[in-house]
Chains A and B, each alone.
Chain A
Amino acid sequence: MRTSLAFLPGLVLGLTLACGGSVSQVTPKTPVVLATGLVYTAPAGTGWRLVEDAASTPTRLLLDLIGPAGTASRGVGFNVQGPAGVKFGAFQASGGMPIADAGVYEMLSAYPTTYPYEPSMLGGGVKPGNLLTVGIFQKDRRLSAKDSGAPLCQIALEVDPAANLATGTALPLSVPKARFIPGDIGPTTLTLTAAEYLEAQTKGHLVPMTVAVGTLAAQ
């Protein structure tokens, strides 16, 4: 992490005195302070939104996805367009994926029992152009839908030191695409009759949602 550099006007004066020539007046520039972290202001509203998690640190901003209270869901997936100078972080607990489980959804199969290495639908990646894509879903329809009005998952943002961002730089953040699985997906058993299959087909779709994003700046 680079530290802030302060321009030292005294050094220039010293150099010109050493040269022995005539001295011209030099107006010092305003020092450029490089950002080491991010500051985020949450959006207004109570719909789907990204809010800062209290566990954020000065250098690692954690954003939680929260949905509207009272809206049942079985999982969410969304893409975040990261601005230049910002990189998305990984979570060790998620095996290096750029998304963490906030503990609301039940991630493994209901029964009979789970088994070693059973995969859960928690994952993501950073596509070219700094587009984060993440998802967390309950795979087992026998498990109940959950109230979305709590942190459902978490992503991490950090300043990319190679970008040499100045503090105060406004960083546009957006969620160009987001979907959730609604509470009602039809039958909640795995063994379906023909009629139940049709109902599942009718109701089993990802629902588009708009995720409100606050303001992001480098600090």
Chain B
Amino acid sequence: MTRSFPRKVSALALILGAGLLPAKAAATPAPAAQAQPAQHPLRIAQALTALESRRAALGLAGADAFTAEHAYTNARGETIVRFGQTYQGHRVWGGTAMAQVSSQGLVSLNTPGVMTSISLSGAPALSPAQAVQSALAQLAAGERVNGAPVAEQVVFAPRYRQETGALRHGPLGQPASYIWAYQVHLSARGDAGPVSRDYVIDGATGTVLRADDRLAQATAPVISYGTGLGQYSGQVTIPTTRMDDGSYALWDTTRGGPANPALLQDQQYNGFGAGTNWTPSGLQVWYEVKDASGADTYFMSLFQKTIATDTTDAWGDGKVWGGDWVNEGLANGQTAGVDAMNGMAWTWDFYGNVFNWYGLDNKGSSVYAMALNGGPKDTQDYSTDVASYDYYNNMINLGAGSYPANPQGYQSMADLDIIAHEMAHGVEEHSALMAVGAGYNLEECDLTEGNADFFAIMARAYASMKPGADPTAIPDTTFPWTIGAGPGRGTPIRWITRPSKDGSSQDYWHDGISHMDPHYAGGVLSRALMFLAQGASAKTTDDTYSPFLPGGMQGVGNDHTARIWWKVITENFVGHAIGSLTFLDARSASLGAAIDLYGEGSPEALGVQNAFGAVNVGTPVGQAPRTRVTFPMVHDNDWLGWYGTVNGLYRPAFPFGETVTPKVTVSNNANTAVTWSLGGPSAYLGAGAGQMDVGGVINPDGSWTIPGYFGIFAMTATSVADPSQFAEGRIIAMHMDCDADGENDAIDMGALALSWNLSTGALSPDASVYQEGQAVGVSDEDVAYFLDMLHNAWPVQ
């Protein structure tokens, strides 16, 4: 994310006072440099000649001109000349050019700051005196102007008016229009101290277009604690900062040190916050700046009060976001900011106090939140009803929530458990670094989400601690183990006690669970950790009951459970995003951690085995190994595993229309019979969605007759001996009759050969295994899948 917007620019002038005077130059300048200033007139003339020679290329008219404002010769003898731009003899506000003149008189120009296509005639409607009056009217009560202000007529591009920013971020481009304006400088004194300001006044209307402070203050940000009224957090005290203009910002300088990379880039390359006491450090809350229609302006703003209208350190109105876009920085929008700052601060302290982990990366790098993401123009709610963590910018995105405009939508995502879930991703990506994302069919991705849900609950438990409690321990929870009940208006997004209550998630592990979205499969891990912490019930109607542990179990408490799992992700797991970790690895690593921390045979070590056994990952203590149904991993180390585009790692290919029996393994039971069914648990999105099809016919002998069209078909094999054990697999149905003679056989490979890698595409529509027509062409992927079909459909016995 690189959209950036400078908040209102603060003081710029230098304060000259005792101790701040520049030191006297101590050394005698080198002879070469000493001679150069004498040559400045020549160098300036050379630079101006070069600039004038570019007039046509720059698109300048006769009314445009340049005046040298400053010249400087560096140690290499190069003179850098800065020019101001004029039009009809009047200064063009912001128009500038630079030239570098070598000691040999060679000139190189830097002209992106030149403004072109200026076309103005006549004169401003207002007189200079009227412009001065407009400026004087801006002085605060008690401020008395020094001397007689003067109005300078200038050319001004309205795009640079104050609320759109002093410097536009991204490519400079050219302003679309220009107007006559006046710049009025006021020097004044008042109760708050000296005033030095430049005002740009619209030459037709007298409107103040800019008010730039010319005082650059050398003060540090002042730590403050404001009063926040959050939607979810209620009335809270939140860390804030008093800025050098006296306003307050949602910026916590007490937590974190090293700069946030994205905010540092804004400071370094775009000049954001230049001349102020703002730095890209600590915890900060920003928001996307929208226009009145809710469209993104591609700027973002720190939550900071406007000193002219709000001098308080009180934030938020506690109410649901009402959709007053363009005023996100006011009280209603601040509400999400309050919740975000509260959630970030608690989560930061949770990791720091409990685990001695500083920030998300254990270096204390600044984290910032973007609240009120999305909006009415986000018709798919891609960001509005979503929260995420961005590793590279070390920031969290919090959707504004599409409710109430969308009655089925969520409210603001800035609830503590959502924030803590996203920050948990950050911690995990700086420790175990497990793979993340949907569509990879990796149990490791499921573990990533389960980990984030678990630590979200732990952070929330930590934030619920009673006054006087041990700040280094996690209290046991007194609230339901759910995620997202706030944004869900009372209905959670996920239930950790019984994940299947959301209609999609799984309560127990099965082979193929990673075909599901990791948020739905991750519940197996978070539920196991919930069992470990809180226990499991022996009552069949309870959410915390498991048929794999019918007698239930005692929990060992949140604190011990969190320390076990913390040890797993920070010391045991070496994910590196390779994707090889499984739920069984999570069990083994947890057992090892429990033994290390609490001893072999401890309630914690026994609890780990029972908790994971209760979600069908391994078995509880004392139980015999269960029947296991698994689909074989195919394409682990072959062409399709390396290069296949249909995620061939777990998916064997079969030819259209054939009758086959896919391979499945049943272990730990002499009865290896299975019953087949079409589809599987990952069909929660329905057939056809999420790259998963349901089709074909299961025959009485258990074989499957494949449909005659391309698809990735879900199949479930359930153990006859133990119907609680099943596996979901995926099979790709592909076209094999490439010579279109009505028969699938190896001879069809010849038709592939005739079309292989032709630039024009295949010689016939049937030639490819995707049967997508001639334009698609035939490649080694077709060859690899063809061979796979032969291998799977008709193996040599």
Contacts and interface: CB of A to CB of B under 8 A. Distances in A.
A116 B642 CA distance: 9
Identify which of A90, A99, A205 gathers the most chain B CB atoms within 10 Å of its CB: A205
Nearest to A189: B759
A134 B746 contact: yes
Given A97-B790, A117-B642, A126-B797, A133 B746 contact: yes
B750 A135 contact: yes
Interface in B150-167: none
A77 B750 contact: yes
B745 interface: yes
B728 to A, nearest CB: 26
Contacts of A205: 754
Interface stretch (B254-262, B410-418, B779-787): B779-787
A125 B790 contact: yes
A114 B746 CA distance: 24
A24 interface: no
B763 A200 contact: yes
A137 B780 CA distance: 13
Contact of A126 (B639, B759, B764, B796): B796
Nearest to B759: A191
B791 A77 contact: no
Contacts of B756: 139-141
A200 to B, nearest CB: 6
Contact of B790 (A123, A139, A185, A201): A123
B752 interface: yes
Nearest to A193: B760
B796 A133 contact: no
A95 to B, nearest CB: 8
Contact of A96 (B753, B763, B783, B796): B796
B780 A119 contact: yes
Contacts of B751: 206
A181 B760 contact: no
A40 interface: no
Identify which of B747, B748, B757, B795 gathers the most chain A CB atoms within 10 Å of its CB: B747
A114 to B, nearest CB: 10
A124 B747 CA distance: 9
A87 B796 CA distance: 9
B44 to A, nearest CB: 57
B717 interface: no
A214 interface: no
Contacts of B763: 197, 200-201, 204
B791 A133 contact: no
Nearest to B795: A125
Contacts of A192: 758-760
Contacts of B757: 109, 139-140, 190
A133 B760 contact: no
B310 interface: no
B749 interface: yes
Contacts of B643: 117
B797 A139 contact: no
Interface in B768-797: 780, 783-784, 786-787, 790-791, 793-797
A190 B796 contact: no
B70 to A, nearest CB: 57
B638 interface: yes
Interface in A125-161: 125-127, 133-135, 137-141
B753 A137 contact: yes
B791 A96 contact: yes
Contact of B758 (A87, A109, A124, A190): A190
Identify which of B746, B755, B780 gathers the most chain A CB atoms within 10 Å of its CB: B746
Interface residues of B, number: 36
A37 interface: no
B746 A204 contact: no
Contact of A121 (B639, B764, B783, B795): B783
B783 to A, nearest CB: 4
B787 A177 contact: no
A179 interface: yes
Given A119-B780, A204-B754, A125 B759 contact: no
B739 interface: yes
Contacts of A133: 745-747, 790, 794
B780 A181 contact: no
Contact of A125 (B764, B783, B794): B794
A16 B763 CA distance: 78
A67 interface: no
Given A89-B796, A117-B642, A123 B746 contact: yes
Nearest to B785: A119
B222 to A, nearest CB: 61
A73 to B, nearest CB: 10
A109 to B, nearest CB: 8
Contacts of A219: none
Contact of B739 (A117, A127, A194, A206): A206
Contacts of A121: 749, 752-753, 783, 786-787
A49 interface: no
Contacts of A197: 758, 760, 763
Identify which of A97, A139, A201 gathers the most chain B CB atoms within 10 Å of its CB: A139
Contact of A139 (B639, B642, B783): B783
Given A190-B759, A201-B763, A88 B796 contact: yes
A134 B746 CA distance: 5
Given A90-B796, A190-B759, A192-B758, A123 B786 contact: yes
Interface string A102-116: 000000010000001
Given A119-B780, A177-B745, A75 B750 contact: yes
Contact of A119 (B764, B787, B796): B787
Identify which of A133, A197, A205 gathers the most chain B CB atoms within 10 Å of its CB: A133
Contacts of A99: 746
Identify which of A88, A123, A178, A197 gathers the most chain B CB atoms within 10 Å of its CB: A123
A74 B753 contact: yes
B699 to A, nearest CB: 13
A139 B745 contact: no
A79 B745 contact: yes
Interface string A51-93: 0000000000000000000000011011100000001111000
A185 B797 CA distance: 36
Contacts of B638: 117
Nearest to A88: B796
A126 B780 CA distance: 23
A139 B758 contact: no
Interface in A174-210: 177-181, 185, 190-192, 194, 197, 200-201, 204-206
Identify which of B638, B748, B750, B786 gathers the most chain A CB atoms within 10 Å of its CB: B750
Interface string B289-312: 000000000000000000000000
Contacts of A140: 756-757
A137 B751 CA distance: 10
A78 B751 CA distance: 13
B747 A119 contact: no
Nearest to B746: A135
Interface in A13-31: none
B745 A119 contact: no
A109 B746 CA distance: 20
A137 B750 contact: yes
A179 B740 CA distance: 13
Given A77-B747, A98-B796, A118 B780 contact: yes
Interface of B: 638-639, 642-643, 739, 743, 745-760, 763-764, 780, 783-784, 786-787, 790-791, 793-797
28 contacts: A75-B749, A77-B748, A79-B745, A88-B796, A97-B796, A98-B796, A99-B746, A117-B639, A119-B787, A121-B749, A123-B746, A123-B749, A123-B787, A124-B746, A125-B790, A125-B795, A126-B794, A127-B745, A139-B757, A139-B783, A141-B753, A141-B754, A179-B747, A181-B753, A181-B754, A190-B757, A204-B754, A205-B754
Closest 8 pairs between A and B when the two form their complex, measured CB to CB: A125-B794, A77-B747, A135-B746, A133-B745, A117-B639, A137-B753, A204-B754, A90-B796
